[in-house]
Structure formats: C-alpha cells, structure tokens
Amino acid sequence: MQRIRNSGSLKSGDGAYGTASARLNTEQRALADQMTAYWASFIHGSAPSAPSQPVMPDQKSAPGTVLQLRTASRGGNSATSETGKAHNCDLWDAAAGS
C-alpha cells in the first residue's frame, strides 16, 4: 500500500476544495456550494436539489428542459429549454440519429 505524504499544500481554512477555493469570489463560492448540494442530493438517491434553488426539471414531464447553473450576476440558476439551441444540440442530436 502506498502512503500519501502531506505536502503541506492545504492549510487551515482552505476548505473542501483546497487552495482553489481561495481564488473564488463570494458569488462563485455560493454557486459552488449550490452545485455541491445538487450533487449530494442526487448521490443520496433523490432528485438533484439545493436549498432555495430551482429543482431539476423532470425529463418525463418537461423533456429538453435543463437546469442551468450560473452565478447570481449571470442570472442565477434557472430551468430553461433554450440551452440546446444556444449550444447547437440539434446538430449533435441529428448526428446521433435522434
């Protein structure tokens, strides 16, 4: 078994994301926390959700609607059906034979 030695790169207060978290501004940190909450709820067996944030759209009742995660200054998190158009997904859907 290989032992991992602490290189001292993580210091007290670096948080779960190590030294990279020190480079996030306040709204980026808030978005990172929301993303972690979405993933955690999914991993624990429920639909992705975060406190005081929009829920993940159900693809059975709203196919093609996705949850767009953005910082507050970029409009915040929202459910949208425009992402596919903005990212030319029709091209990839056609290539996949959808």
Q: Band the pLDDT of 15: cuts 50, 70, 90.
A: low
Query: Which tens digits make up the pLDDT trace of 46-98?
Result: 989 999 999 999 989 988 899 999 999 999 999 998 887 787 777 767 776 65
Instruction: Write down the pLDDT at residue 12.
Output: 45
Tokens in use for 14? 């670096």
Instruction: Write down the pLDDT at residue 57.
Output: 92
**Residue 66 to residue 25: CA distance in whole angstroms:** 26
Instruction: Write down the pLDDT at residue 24.
Output: 93
**pTM for this predicted structure:** 0.65
What is the residue-wise DSSP string for 28-77? HHHHHHHHHHHHHHHHTTS----TTSPPPPPTTTSTT-EEEP--GGGT-S
Instruction: Write down the pLDDT at residue 10.
Output: 43
**Residue 98 to residue 93: CA distance in whole angstroms:** 5
